[in-house]
Amino acid sequence: MKEKLILIGNGMAGIRTLEEILKRNPDRFEITVFGKEPHPNYNRILLSSVLQGDTGVSDIVLNDYDWYKNNNITLYVGDPVVEIDTKNQVVYSEGGISSSYDHLIFATGSNPFMLPLPGADKKDVMAFRDIKDCEKMIEASKKYKKAAVIGGGLLGLEAARGLLNLDMEVDVIHLADHLMERQLDEPAARMLKEELVSQGMRFHMGKQTERILGKENVEGLRFKDGQVLDADIVVMAVGIKPNIDLAQKTKLETNRAIVINDYMETSAKNVYAVGECAEHRGIAYGLVAPLYEQGKVLAEHLCDKERKLKPGYQGSLVYTQLKVSGVDVFSAGQFQDQEGYRAIRVHDEFDGIYKKVVVKDNKVVGAVLFGDTSDSPRLLDMMKKGEDISEMNKVALLPSENGDAATESPVASMAAEETICGCNGVSKGAIVQAIHEQGLSTVEEIKQYTNAARSCGGCKPLVNDVLALTLGDEVAGADQKEPICGCTDYSHEEVVEEIKEKGLTHTREVMNVLGWKNDEGCSKCRPAINYYLGMVKPLEYEDDHTSRFINERVHANIQNDGTYSVVPRMYGGVTDSDQLRKIADVADKYKVGLLKVTGGQRIDLLGVKKEDLPSIWSDLDMPSGYAYGKTIRTVKTCVGEDFCRFGTQDSIGLGVQIEKKYERLNTPHKVKMAVSACPRNCAESGIKDIGIVGVEGAWEMYVGGNGGVDLRGGDLLCKVKTSEEVLDTISAFLQYYREDARYLERTSHWVERVGLDHIRSVVMDDQEERQALIERMEVALSPLKDPWKDIVEDEAKRKELFENKNVQVTQQ
C-alpha cells in the first residue's frame, strides 16, 4: 500500500514540491490535492503579464488537468480544506470530502493585506493576487477611467503598469518617501519614479489614505493631510499576510506564519509547510525562489527520511526584479548604507544607469542596479558563495559597458556555476549539460527539462543566449521567432506578410483574422499593427488614433506633472524674428511654464494645459515639430558655408530641404538627422539615424547612429556628390527601414541586426530596387498633412480629443 500524501493549496510552492517528489520517486505516494481556487496550478507571477496584456490567462497554466491525471493525482479544485484532525490524520473539505493522510503538506500561501479603511468594502476596491482579481481589474477598466493604486511596492507598480496598458489613468499612492523602499535606495528609486512618470504614472508620495470616498461606488480617496483624489477603482497592494487561519484552527505553532524547522516540519507530527504560509528561522518569504528551495528540501526529506542527516534548508538569499517593460531594476541582499558597510557606486545620469554594490568584511552582501542589470548574475553568485574580494580591484566589480562586452551577451563570460535563472536556481552549467545530454534545442525544451525561465520569465533572454552559445548555428530556427507580444504568436515580420497577403485593412480585422488571444490587443501590438497597416497602404489606410500612444494622439508630449509641451517645427533649426515674436506672445498669453531650446535646435514651450493646445497651435500658426512621434523629428544643421570659415557646403540649405521633404513621415521609431558642412561635425551627424557630412566636393552619409541610451556612431553608407543624390539615398534608406524594421526598432538596432552590407546592397547597389524604394517613398509622403492645422480646423476632432475628459491614455 502506498503512503497517502495530501497537499492543501494548489499553488506555486505546493505543486513544485509535488513535481520534485515525482521526479525522485513517482510511485511512492498516493497523492491528493485540495485547491481553493477553481483552476489547475498556474503561474501567479505572470498575472502581471496578463494584466499588462502580454499574455492570456490560458497561457499561464503551469500544470493542466492532464498532468494531475497522468501522475495519478486526485485533484479537488474550488474546494478548500476547512478542518484537520491531526490525531486521526484526516482532513475535511468545505465540499464534504474527508480524506486520511500519512503526510500532510500545508501550502496555503498568503492573502493580500487589505487596509481596513472606511469605504474599503465597496465593490470596486480590489486586491491583486489571483486570476479573479486580474479579471476584475480588466472588467473595471472597460467601465472606468481612473485607477488609484495604494502601495508603490513591486505589486503596486506592476498593477499600475497593467492598468495603464488597459488605458486607465493611474495614480499610485505610496506611504514612504521613495518607491520600493524595501528593495531600492533613494537614487535608484528616484530614477525608477522618473521612468514610470514618463510612462504615464502619477505619484503621491508620503501619503496615507484615510478613507475611500463615494456613496455606493468609489469616487475617490481622502488622505490624512486632507487632500482628495478622484478615482473610480482602488487597487490595494500594500503587502501580504500569510494564510494561517486553518493552521491556527489546527493548533499548529504559528508566529507571523506556520513555524517550520530545516526540514519543513511543523509542530504537528507528519504535517509540513512550504511557501508563503511557512516561517523559517523567523522569515516568511514572499518570492518563489526560496519557496522552491523549500519544496526541494521537503521532497528530498519525504522521499528519503534518512537524508535528515543532511543539513536541510538553511534560508535563502532573496533578490527581486520588477516586471515592468522599459525598466531594468535589480535588488538583492543588504543594499542600505550602514555602519561597517562600504559601497561601490556608479551613477551615469546621461544613460540613466545606477549601480551600487555593498561590501562588508570583504564580501559582497547586497546590490542595487538600475538601467543596466547585466551584472546581476555575477553579483548574485558572489553573494551566494560569500567570495572574498580583498584581492580584487573593487572597481572591476562593476565593469563599464564599453568595448566588446557591450555587444556580447553577458552569458559568454559567465562561469558554469553562475545562476542564469534566479527563480528556479538553475546555473549556466546545468543548462549546458541538459542541452548536451538531452539533445535540447529550444528554450521551451530547456524550460520543461530544467525549470529555467518557467516562473517570472525574466531570464529567458539569457537562456536563449546559453542555447545559442552552446549550439551555435544549430539553434532551432523556430525559437528565434519573437511574437509581437503575448496577444499573439505572430512575429512582426509575419504580421506584415499577412497584412499584405490577406489584404487586411484595419487593426481589428488583423486581430480577428489572425486569431489574437486578447480581443482588444495591447499597447504593444496595437500601435505596431496601426503602423504596419499605414506603411503597407499609405494612400488607403485611415490612421487608427485609438491605437496610438497618448503623445501621438494629442500631438504633444505629456510631462511628469500632466501638462504638455509644444515644439513647433523650425526647419534646419533656423528661425526669424516673426516666429520668435509669436512664440513669445503665446508664452505670455497662455502662461507657459518654461521656454527651452532643445537639442534638436528648436524651442520647447513647456507646462501647457491640454485644453489650451489647439488655441496655442492656432495662435502660433507654425507646423508641428512632431517632437512626440515615431516619425522624422529634426534635421539639425551647422551654419555651414554662409558663415563658417571651415564650411565648404550649404548645410542649412540641404537640412531645410530634407526636413521639408520628410517631415510627418511615419517611421518604426523616431528618426533624427543632421547635416554638417565639414568633418568638424558641429551638428553631431555621427550620432544621428541619418547623418550627413560635407567633405571636399561631396557629402558623406552615415546611418544607424544614436546619441541616446545605446550610444552608437553611425556607419558610413556612401559618399555622394549632389544634394539630389543625398535626397534619393535618404528616400531609399528610409523607405527600406520603414518596410523592413520592426515597429519600435531604432535604425541603430536595425542596422546592427540586418547588417550594413545588406542595407547597402539593397539601397545603393541594386538600382532597380533603389528606384522602387524611392518611388514608394514618394507615395508614402503624398497624403501627409500637418496634424495641428488639421485639428484646429476640425471641430469634431478638437472636441473629441481636447474637450472630452475621458481621452484614453496609453503611454510608452
Ligand X SMILES: Cc1cc2nc3c(=O)[nH]c(=O)nc-3n(C[C@H](O)[C@H](O)[C@H](O)COP(=O)(O)OP(=O)(O)OC[C@H]3O[C@@H](n4cnc5c(N)ncnc54)[C@H](O)[C@@H]3O)c2cc1C
Ligand Y SMILES: NC(=O)c1ccc[n+]([C@@H]2O[C@H](COP(=O)([O-])OP(=O)(O)OC[C@H]3O[C@@H](n4cnc5c(N)ncnc54)[C@H](O)[C@@H]3O)[C@@H](O)[C@H]2O)c1
Question: In sequence order, what are the beta bridge partners of 111?
Answer: 241
Q: Which residue do the cell numbers 519544496 mark?
A: 295
Query: In the range 414-433, which residues lie near ligand X by CB under 6 A?
Result: 423
H-helix or E-strand spanning residue 553: helix 550-554
Q: Strand order in 90-93's β-sheet?
A: 81-85, 90-93, 98-100
Q: How far is the CB of 201 from ligand X (least distance, A)?
A: 17
In this structure, what DSSP letter does residue 174 have?
Answer: E
Binding to ligand SF4 by CB under 6 A, coded x per residue (else -) over 680-699, reads: xxx-----------------
* Nearest residue to 745 via CA among 706, 781, 792, 784: 706
- Residue 366 binds ligand X (CB under 6 A): no
- Residue 369 binds ligand FES (CB under 6 A): no
- Residue 231 binds ligand X (CB under 6 A): no
Pick the closer one to ligand Y by CB: 206 or 562: 206
Binding to ligand X by CB under 6 A, coded x per residue (else -) over 657-696, reads: ----------------------------------------
- Residue 291 binds ligand FES (CB under 6 A): no
Candidates 317, 405, 406, 639; binder of ligand SF4 (CB under 6 A) is: 639
Within the chain, what is the greatest distance between any pair of CA atoms?
Answer: 98
CA distance readout (Å), 406 to 48, 353, 399, 410, 688: 30, 14, 10, 8, 20
Each as own residue / partner, the long-range contacts of residues 640-645 (CB below 8 Å, 24 or more positions apart, any chain) are 640/675, 640/676, 640/677, 640/694, 641/677, 644/677, 644/678, 644/682
Binding to ligand X by CB under 6 A, coded x per residue (else -) over 80-99, reads: xx------------------
- Residue 587 binds ligand X (CB under 6 A): no
Q: Is the CB of residue 792 less than 8 Å from the CB of residue 617?
A: yes
* 538 contact choice in ligand FES, ligand X, ligand Y, none (CB below 5 to 8 Å, kind-dependent): none
CA dihedral 329, 332, 336, 339 (to 10 degrees): -150
Pick the closer one to ligand Y by CB: 105 or 237: 237
H-helix or E-strand spanning residue 734: helix 723-740
Contacts of 290 (CB under 8 A, 6+ apart): 315, 316, 318
Distance CA 279, CA 292 (A): 14
Candidates 92, 449, 541, 646; binder of ligand SF4 (CB under 6 A) is: 646
Question: In sequence order, what are the beta bridge partners of 565?
Answer: 557, 606
- Residue 377 binds ligand FES (CB under 6 A): no
Take residue 620 and report the three cell numbers written for it.
Answer: 502660433
Pick the closer one to ligand X by CB: 248 or 722: 248
Take residue 220 and report the three cell numbers written for it.
Answer: 475617490
Count the residues of the shown chain that bind ligand Y, applying the rule CB under 6 A: 27
Binding to ligand Y by CB under 6 A, coded x per residue (else -) over 173-212, reads: xxxx----xx-------------------------xx---
Strands (E), 545-588: 557-558, 564-566
* 154 contact choice in ligand Y, ligand FES, ligand SF4, none (CB below 5 to 8 Å, kind-dependent): ligand Y
* 240 contact choice in ligand Y, ligand FES, ligand X, none (CB below 5 to 8 Å, kind-dependent): ligand Y
Cα Rg for the chain, rounded, in angstroms? 29
Pick the closer one to ligand X by CB: 12 or 411: 12
CA 224 from centroid of its chain's CA atoms: 33
Q: How far is the CB of 455 from ligand FES (least distance, A)?
A: 4
- Residue 48 binds ligand X (CB under 6 A): yes
- Residue 156 binds ligand X (CB under 6 A): no
Count the residues of the shown chain that bind ligand SF4, applying the rule CB under 6 A: 13
Backbone phi, then psi, for 17, in 5-degree steps? Answer: -60, -45
Q: Is the CB of residue 613 less than 8 Å from the CB of residue 558?
A: no
Candidates 644, 711, 756, 781; binder of ligand SF4 (CB under 6 A) is: 644
Pick the closer one to ligand FES by CB: 422 or 653: 422
Stretch of 113-121, 391-399, 421-429, 564-572 lying at the interface with ligand FES (CB under 6 A): 421-429
- Residue 323 binds ligand Y (CB under 6 A): yes
The upper half-sphere exposure of residue 472, i.e. CA atoms within 13 Å in the direction of its Cβ, equals 0
Count the residues of the shown chain that bind ligand X, applying the rule CB under 6 A: 36
Q: Is the CB of residue 122 less than 8 Å from the CB of residue 212?
A: yes
Distance CA 103, CA 302 (A): 9
Q: How far is the CB of 738 from ligand X (least distance, A)?
A: 36
Q: Is the CB of residue 454 less than 8 Å from the CB of residue 16?
A: no
Candidates 126, 180, 453, 801; binder of ligand FES (CB under 6 A) is: 453
Distance CA 812, CA 179 (A): 20
* 150 contact choice in ligand X, ligand Y, ligand FES, none (CB below 5 to 8 Å, kind-dependent): ligand Y
Distance CA 113, CA 126 (A): 11
Q: Quick one: residue 289, left, alpha or beta (phi over 0 = left, psi -120 to 50 = alpha)?
A: alpha
- Residue 238 binds ligand Y (CB under 6 A): yes
Q: How far is the CB of 253 from ligand X (least distance, A)?
A: 18
The upper half-sphere exposure of residue 435, i.e. CA atoms within 13 Å in the direction of its Cβ, equals 24
Pick the closer one to ligand X by CB: 109 or 653: 109
Candidates 638, 692, 703, 791; binder of ligand SF4 (CB under 6 A) is: 638
- Residue 678 binds ligand SF4 (CB under 6 A): yes
* Nearest residue to 565 via CA among 622, 619, 603, 620: 603
CA distance readout (Å), 688 to 599, 674, 701: 12, 7, 10
Candidates 50, 218, 287, 434; binder of ligand Y (CB under 6 A) is: 287
Instruction: Give me the residues that bind ligand FES (CB under 6 A), please.
Output: 421-424, 452-459
Instruction: Give me the residues that bind ligand SF4 (CB under 6 A), please.
Output: 638-640, 644, 646-647, 651, 676-678, 680-682
Instruction: Give me the residues that bind ligand X (CB under 6 A), please.
Output: 8-14, 34-37, 44-45, 47-48, 80-81, 107-109, 128-129, 155, 158, 243, 246, 275-276, 286-289, 291, 323, 423, 456
Instruction: Give me the residues that bind ligand Y (CB under 6 A), please.
Output: 115, 150-156, 158, 173-176, 181-182, 208-209, 237-240, 286-287, 320-323
